[in-house]
Structure 1
Amino acid sequence: MFTLFRWMVRIVSTALLSVMLGGFFIWYFASRSLPDYNATYAVEGISAPVEIVRSTEDVPHIFGASDHDVFFALGLAHAEDRLWQMTVMRRTVQGRLSEVFGADTLKTDELMRRLDLYGAAIESVSAQDADTLAALEAYSAGVNQWIELVNEGARGRGAPEFFLFDAPIAYWTPADSLAILKLLSVQLESQFNEEVLRARVSMLGQDWTRDIMPDMPGQGVAALPDYAALFPTVPRNVQTALAAPDAMSPFPPRHFAGASNAFAAAPERSAAGGSLLANDPHLGLTAPSVWYLARVELASGGVIGGTIPGIPLVLTGRNAELGWGITSAYADTLDLYIEELNPADPERYRTPAGWEAFATRRAIIQVKDADPVTLTLRWTTNGPVLPGGHFNLASVTPPGHVVSLNWTALSRQDSSMSAGLALMRARSVTEAATAGERYIAPAQNLILADQTSVGMVTIGRLPARDPGHATQGRMPSPGWEAANRWTGFLPYDDNPKFLNPEGGIVINTNNKTVDRPFPRHVSYDWGDSQRVLRLTRLMGEREVHSRESFIAAQLDTVSPAARGLLPLVGADLWFTGAPAPDGTPERMRQRALELLAAWDGEMNEHLPEPLIYAAWMRALQNRLIRDELGPLATEFTQLEPLFVERVFRNTDGAGRWCDVMQSAPVETCTDIARMALDDALLELRAKFGTKVESWRWGDAHEALQDHQVLGRAPLLGWVTNIRQSTSGGDFTLMRGMTKGTEPNPFANVHAAGFRGVYDFADPDSSVFVIATGQSGHPLSRHYDDLSVLWRRGEYIPMSLDPELARAAAAGITRLEPGAPAE
């Protein structure tokens, strides 16, 4: 027995020692890729010494003798901190993820190859002006210099992920930066899903789309044809079940396209007499964040703000005289077409001029641990052909037809990068608005503030459509009918523009910006109908604003949707019936209603009311739509406030949704509201216990900032994923979009990855923050150091003063001209 015990001790000790040694070696090799921010490097490709001054928060302030040298250093800094992220983004747009990650990403690669965004980026290099091309080449040289330094100095392959995945790093090119800008168009596009879903709901009959997918208030379309009337042979099985998208797919689910807030006040509306501007773009939360803070000192002056690694632009930020913010414009820049195949020759399709052959090309996708996949890529004169396995296209495609796509992001002469560089050098609102003319995609609202004025202009090409378009771009249309095809693009002067408005305030929350009839309408589908109500009120409550009031608005957590819906939904439930005994479902319902009746709509993480409200509305919408839409109801994962309001106000007879079609009794909206509340409380009780007052919104509304690859591994996820309790919700200005699906439907997965507030009365008092940290290295202290500030609603200073940058430097990287040491 004693011998057995000794052997057990030896085995356990050996196992523990092996784990410790394995952990040490993993740490050692991973830590080799941690950059030294106080190093001096001899590099080729610069004309004079360059300094990269790192602030305490690892924000690089870059000083060089020429713009070329500064962009070179920005490329090196991006690669130093985010090389893995840049590599994955490039592989995504190239359609080459499967070479590294295997068959799990094959579907994404297939779609990206068919769109050929990378090919469009290569051709778009020639569309850039000379200054932009020089900046792109300098930036690429800087990225490549860091790759060389990693290889020569045995710096852990540049990132720990490269030890786990065999992902050879190709040198960076100008086309790579243009491709990542196009990748943003993918991440911000909502029309793929909207067009298909509208067609699928339309096929159910009874005009359900009018209620469940309503137009924003204001003049709307009078009527659309039933999709089935356009295509009588389309399959009626609209509830096609498809596999979930790849975990690394850049295509957002419905409601998860880009969102943002931006607002500005002219000097006469500012307490300190200088213009104010605030911006917080919203994207899917990841670790590291897609955003990276940087300051570049150009010949035209300093520029500071939010960059995206891989792109040599400050996309949102300021220089000494001008500040700019961006919001998704939700412009309808995409159309899907049903293309009829020639029955006698399926390699030809119907056009207004007759049958025409597809343009075709072969492509091979290399797949790790599997055979290569060969694709035949096809294009019509409308655009690339998409397979039915994407976006549920098969459910709306008649037999003998395929779907093609026209989209501004497919432009092969895309000068958006040149427009972005011109914006960085602009010195006034009017200069910035003029610079936007060369911008192509993705469509954005550009909110501007200079020393004396404010404004907003929509930048990006808007398609010119024929007034006779069969679906007005809201559903797939017959591609062979000339009236459905684009006739070009609207002139830039037609884009919405508001310069120096009379009230001195401009705002945008992805709300409807113009009320113009089709085809100059810009869009029918907008990203917000709720946040704009709150922001309008906050901006109107004060005659003058300050940096502090702008910060308060940016961090506001009051939900106008909750304030508007609860009085409607609970109108006949408040304080009704005799008090119920403790411990009964009736008592829990009464207590929940008591709490909600006294609640002001603040989605505070420490309160139970936001959780009760969110669960109630989720259960309510599910009860309202489940019998009418059937399995298609699963597509509506997020609360649709305009729909619920229409139902409970019985707008255009929308109260019909309250009656359960399959049951004999006629249910009222009050009945459904009561049953939905009971559903929600039962679910919450099972998850959070029986004491309603102890429930916390933050326990359910946890921000999930996950590493896209390592975060899925059990042990590595514990190191790389960032979890934080957060306030806010789907419709608050401090937006925290909920996941909408089980097992954690209220998890915060889409929020402001960047926040900035600029005060031109005292520019050095401007502030900004990102959601994670600057570094993409999980072992770096800068991997998540800013996330604590972000969660608490705090910021870091935003100064263009070189002396302040150097005085607070946590490290200075010096680049010296010359060949690296052998």
Structure 2
Amino acid sequence: MVVLFRWLLRLFLGLAVLGGLSLTVVYYFATRSIPDYSATHRVSGISAEVEIVRDNANVPHIFGAADEDVFFGLGYAHAQDRLWQMTLMRRTVQGRLSEIFGARTLRTDELMRRLDLYTLSVRSLEAQDAPTRAALEAYSRGVNAWIAEVNEQALGRGAPEFFLFSNEIAFWQPADSIALIKLLGVQLSGHLGEEVIRARLSLVLPPERLRDILPDDPSTPVASLPRFGALFPDVAPSYATIRMPGDSLSPFPEPGLAGASNAWAAASGRSAAGGTLLANDPHLGFSAPTVWYLARLDLASGGVIGATIPGIPLVLAGRSDRLGWAVTSSYLDDQDLFIERLNPDNPEEYETPQGWAQFETRRTIIRVAEEQPRTFTLRWTENGPVLPGYHYDIGSITPQGHVASLAWTLLSPADTSMTAAMRLMQAQSVDEALEAAPLFIAPSQNLTLVDRDRIAMQMVGAMPARNAAHQTQGRIPSPGWIATNRWQGTFPFSVNPAFTDPDTSLLGNTNNKIIDRPFPEHVSFVWGDTQRIQRWLRLMQMREVHTRDSFIEAQLDTVSNTARTLLPLVGGDLWFTGEAAPEGTPERRRQRALALLAEWNGEMNEHLPEPLIYSAWMRALQDRLIRDDLGPLADQFGRVEPVFIERVYRNTGGAAAWCNIIQSSAQETCTDIARIALDDALVRLSETYGNNIESWRWGDAHQATHDHPVLGDVRVLRHFVNIRQSTSGDGDTLMRGALAAQGPNPFFNVHGAGYRGVYDFGDPDSSVFIIATGQSGHPLSRHYDDLGDLWRRGEYIPMSLDPDLARAAAVGLTRLIPLE
């Protein structure tokens, strides 16, 4: 027995030593890819020495003798910190994820190949002006210089993730950067999914009820449109969901999670410091690392500083010494889905206004890790690429003998958006910035601009020209063979809405409706916000003059105007009614919850129980209202639609009819449904958070999920690579934190401001910036999440264009010396 014990002990100690050695080796090779920020490298591709000065937040300040050298330095810095992220995004837009991830990403790859965005990016390279092409080439040389350095010095393959995937790292090409802008356009797109769900609902709901569940902006009068069933009578109603399941690597947004953002500006007359003010916080899905990366470029036109996206040589949101620029999603309706009729005698032909035409076809091969390659035939019509039926449930509305194609401004082969953004970044005034605006094609944005004297907001991006006789006005899919349904090119840029130097000296956009024009110059029937804008107007009107701090206060505001509106409507007949119920009963729990909500001011504070009660109640209420009418289709509405609930409880257009449960013989009232929904919500919350309502915290449920898109689901590694933070706000507050709405954690915060910036031209060096995680994409770097705590607490870091300040605070200096 003693001998056995000794051998077991030796075996255990041997395994422990072996395990320790293995971990040491893994850690050694993993940390090899953490860059040394205080080093000198000899590189080819620059004309003179380039300096990359790193401040204590790891923000690079890049100095060079020529602009091309500065862009080289930016490419080098991006690759040092985010090489894995850059290559992953490039693979996504190329449709090559399955080469490393297998069949899991096959459908995403198929969709990207059908859209053919990378080929379009290569073709668009020739459309850029000469300085932009030079900048793209210099940036690519900088990325490739770091890749070469990694290969030559065995620097851990550049990132730990590359050890798990043995595929070779291809060198960066100028077209790759254009492709990433198109990938951003995919992430910001939402009209395609909106068309499909509207078509599906029109098959099962009368028009007046369709207007309830998919309401237009309340100020938008819309004429009656044909029902989808009238256009395609062979399509039967379907309640099932056939769409591809969500995947962390898919760039296609879930319903309700297309692009969002905030931006507001004040002219000098409304500024306490006497200079213009600008605030911006673009909203995208959260990830670790965040998509944003802070940088400063010292260009010949002057220094620029702000938010970049690794892989793109642009400061997309930021400021120079003379100009500030901010971006928000415009919600321009730049997508139309067409139902194309196939020739019954030849399925390789489809119908056009001139007769039958051949599809433009091409075969493509997708390599799949550990499986046989898959071959797909790509088809294009005159309207655009043919899409598969699983994408956003398109198959559920496509009749037999038909296919669906997509028209989209993003599919331009001569997209000059990169040139436009390059000129914007180097503009010296609002007027110069507006001169570059017509070159933007896609994705469409609202561009908010300030210089030292003026403010402006301009919608940029190509605006499709639809015929006034369009059958569906682009709101639901239309027959592609009817000439009046097809796009007539694009409108002149002068049609794009613009606002310059308003009388109020204030401009703002929260993805709200910005203009009220009749179709076809309407911009959109669907807007990203009807709620946040109300709170912003209130905060702006509360002050005659504003400061940097008041703009920060607005960015971080967590008061829900939606909660303040809905709670009195929904619970008006429930408050302070009935006798006090005994402890431990559902009635008593409901009374306690209602008492808390009665004293609540609508602040979605992470430390309070009221936001959790309110959110769970509204979620349960909406599901109760629509589930019996929509069945499984109700799952498409996991996020609360405030205008829908308000219509129901104000009985707008008879919308209170939603309160009656079709399957029951009784006639339920809206008060009945409100009470039942509250009880349902409280039961579910008690099961998760205990019976002590007062101890519940919104932040426990509303955690920001900065998850690693690849390693975030791996059982052990997820604890090291995912960043979770208790947060305030929700999808309707200015400090936006949109809810997951699905799965076991429906209140998780999954979509919000990955970048915030506030610029004060009365005191430019007081301008502040922050991103949601850290500058580095390396999980073992101290800069992987060091800015995340500041972001969560609503704090910022200063970033100055003064080179002496940058050097004084430097914690690293990388010198790139040209090879002789």
TM-score over 0.5 (shorter chain): yes
1:12 is displaced (CA, Å) by 2.5
- Do structure 1's residue 606 and structure 2's residue 607 form an aligned pair? yes
**Mapping of residues 53-132 of structure 1, within 5 Å:** 53-132=53-132
1:133 is displaced (CA, Å) by 0.6
Aligned residue type for 1:375: F
Measure the CA separation in 1 of the matches of 2:244 and 2:147.
38
Measure the CA separation in 1 of the matches of 2:720 and 2:134.
40
1:513 is displaced (CA, Å) by 0.4
Q: Does the 8 Å contact 1:203/1:238 carry over to 2?
A: no
How many residues are aligned here?
819
- What's the counterpart of residue 291 of structure 2? 290
> What are the Cα deviations for residues 583-629 of structure 1, in whole angstroms up to 9, with x where unaligned?
21111100100000100000000000000000000000000000011
Measure the CA separation in 1 of the matches of 2:238 and 2:524.
29
SS in 1 for 2:424: helix
Aligned residue type for 1:44: S
- What's the counterpart of residue 9 of structure 1? 9
SS in 1 for 2:342: strand
**Mapping of residues 572-591 of structure 1, within 5 Å:** 572-591=573-592
Measure the CA separation in 2 of the matches of 1:18 and 1:411.
57
> What are the Cα deviations for residues 491-526 of structure 1, in whole angstroms up to 9, with x where unaligned?
111111000000000000000000111000000010
Aligned residue type for 1:535: W
Aligned residue type for 1:728: G
Measure the CA separation in 1 of the matches of 2:204 and 2:690.
40
- What's the counterpart of residue 726 of structure 1? 727
Measure the CA separation in 2 of the matches of 1:241 and 1:627.
20
Name the stretch that deviates more: 218-227 or 635-644: 218-227
> What are the Cα deviations for residues 627-653 of structure 1, in whole angstroms up to 9, with x where unaligned?
011111011110000000000000000
Measure the CA separation in 2 of the matches of 1:291 and 1:243.
28
> What are the Cα deviations for residues 440-484 of structure 1, in whole angstroms up to 9, with x where unaligned?
000000011110111100000010000111111011100000000
- What's the counterpart of residue 765 of structure 2? 764
Structure 1: 4+ residue segments shifted above 6 A? none
Aligned residue type for 1:719: F
SS in 1 for 2:719: helix
- Do structure 1's residue 566 and structure 2's residue 561 form an aligned pair? no
**Mapping of residues 199-210 of structure 1, within 5 Å:** 199-207=199-207, 208-210=209-211
Measure the CA separation in 2 of the matches of 1:262 and 1:384.
34
1:230 is displaced (CA, Å) by 0.3
Measure the CA separation in 1 of the matches of 2:20 and 2:5.
22
**Mapping of residues 228-307 of structure 1, within 5 Å:** 228-307=229-308
- Give the percent of matched residue pairs that are identical in Structure 1 and Structure 2: 64
1:582 is displaced (CA, Å) by 1.4
**Mapping of residues 350-389 of structure 1, within 5 Å:** 350-389=351-390
Measure the CA separation in 2 of the matches of 1:533 and 1:161.
44
> What are the Cα deviations for residues 553-585 of structure 1, in whole angstroms up to 9, with x where unaligned?
000000111011001000101111101111211
1:205 is displaced (CA, Å) by 3.0
1:19 is displaced (CA, Å) by 2.3
> What are the Cα deviations for residues 375-397 of structure 1, in whole angstroms up to 9, with x where unaligned?
00000000100111211010000
**Mapping of residues 786-805 of structure 1, within 5 Å:** 786-805=787-806
Q: Does the 8 Å contact 2:512/2:527 carry over to 1?
A: yes
SS in 2 for 1:219: coil
1:238 is displaced (CA, Å) by 4.0
- What's the counterpart of residue 161 of structure 1? 161
Q: Does the 8 Å contact 2:308/2:314 carry over to 1?
A: yes
Measure the CA separation in 1 of the matches of 2:384 and 2:742.
33
1:14 is displaced (CA, Å) by 2.6
Aligned residue type for 1:165: F
- What's the counterpart of residue 735 of structure 1? 736
Measure the CA separation in 2 of the matches of 1:612 and 1:236.
35
Measure the CA separation in 1 of the matches of 2:3 and 2:580.
70
- What's the counterpart of residue 188 of structure 1? 188
Aligned residue type for 2:645: V
**Mapping of residues 742-757 of structure 1, within 5 Å:** 742-757=743-758
Q: Does the 8 Å contact 2:244/2:391 carry over to 1?
A: no
SS in 2 for 1:392: helix
Aligned residue type for 1:807: A
1:10 is displaced (CA, Å) by 2.5
Q: Does the 8 Å contact 2:239/2:632 carry over to 1?
A: no
1:245 is displaced (CA, Å) by 3.3
Measure the CA separation in 1 of the matches of 2:106 and 2:247.
8
SS in 1 for 2:23: helix
SS in 2 for 1:29: helix
Q: Does the 8 Å contact 2:200/2:238 carry over to 1?
A: no
- What's the counterpart of residue 398 of structure 1? 399
Q: Does the 8 Å contact 2:239/2:630 carry over to 1?
A: no
- What's the counterpart of residue 504 of structure 2? 503
> What are the Cα deviations for residues 767-791 of structure 1, in whole angstroms up to 9, with x where unaligned?
0000000000001000000000000
Measure the CA separation in 2 of the matches of 1:497 and 1:620.
40
Q: Does the 8 Å contact 1:329/1:443 carry over to 2?
A: yes
- What's the counterpart of residue 649 of structure 1? 650
Measure the CA separation in 1 of the matches of 2:501 and 2:306.
24
Aligned residue type for 1:59: V
Aligned residue type for 1:40: T
- Do structure 1's residue 47 and structure 2's residue 47 form an aligned pair? yes
Measure the CA separation in 1 of the matches of 2:19 and 2:285.
35
- Do structure 1's residue 20 and structure 2's residue 20 form an aligned pair? yes
Q: Does the 8 Å contact 1:570/1:673 carry over to 2?
A: yes
SS in 2 for 1:724: strand
1:711 is displaced (CA, Å) by 1.0
**Mapping of residues 544-693 of structure 1, within 5 Å:** 544-693=545-694
SS in 2 for 1:456: strand
Measure the CA separation in 1 of the matches of 2:240 and 2:472.
22
Superposition CA RMSD, Å: 0.8
Give me the TM-score of the superposition, normalised by structure 1.
0.99
Q: 5+ residue gaps in structure 1?
A: none
Q: Does the 8 Å contact 1:220/1:524 carry over to 2?
A: no
SS in 2 for 1:375: strand
- What's the counterpart of residue 338 of structure 2? 337
SS in 1 for 2:787: helix
Measure the CA separation in 2 of the matches of 1:25 and 1:707.
23
Measure the CA separation in 2 of the matches of 1:645 and 1:219.
16
Q: Does the 8 Å contact 1:627/1:660 carry over to 2?
A: yes
Aligned residue type for 1:308: I
Aligned residue type for 1:344: D
Q: Does the 8 Å contact 1:287/1:720 carry over to 2?
A: yes
Measure the CA separation in 1 of the matches of 2:793 and 2:216.
36
**Mapping of residues 506-545 of structure 1, within 5 Å:** 506-545=507-546
Measure the CA separation in 1 of the matches of 2:783 and 2:591.
48
> What are the Cα deviations for residues 277-306 of structure 1, in whole angstroms up to 9, with x where unaligned?
000000000000000000000000000000
**Mapping of residues 141-152 of structure 1, within 5 Å:** 141-152=141-152
SS in 2 for 1:538: helix
SS in 1 for 2:813: strand
> What are the Cα deviations for residues 53-111 of structure 1, in whole angstroms up to 9, with x where unaligned?
00000000000000010001000100010000000000000000000111100000000
1:247 is displaced (CA, Å) by 3.1
Q: Does the 8 Å contact 2:242/2:390 carry over to 1?
A: no
Give me the TM-score of the superposition, normalised by structure 2.
0.99
Measure the CA separation in 2 of the matches of 1:651 and 1:157.
61
Measure the CA separation in 2 of the matches of 1:205 and 1:571.
29
Measure the CA separation in 2 of the matches of 1:205 and 1:425.
52
Measure the CA separation in 2 of the matches of 1:98 and 1:468.
43
- What's the counterpart of residue 431 of structure 1? 432
Measure the CA separation in 2 of the matches of 1:725 and 1:732.
16
SS in 1 for 2:217: coil
Measure the CA separation in 1 of the matches of 2:484 and 2:686.
56
- Do structure 1's residue 456 and structure 2's residue 457 form an aligned pair? yes
SS in 2 for 1:761: coil
Q: Does the 8 Å contact 2:292/2:310 carry over to 1?
A: yes
SS in 2 for 1:139: helix
- What's the counterpart of residue 214 of structure 2? 213
Measure the CA separation in 2 of the matches of 1:205 and 1:608.
37
Measure the CA separation in 1 of the matches of 2:314 and 2:242.
41
Measure the CA separation in 2 of the matches of 1:278 and 1:537.
16
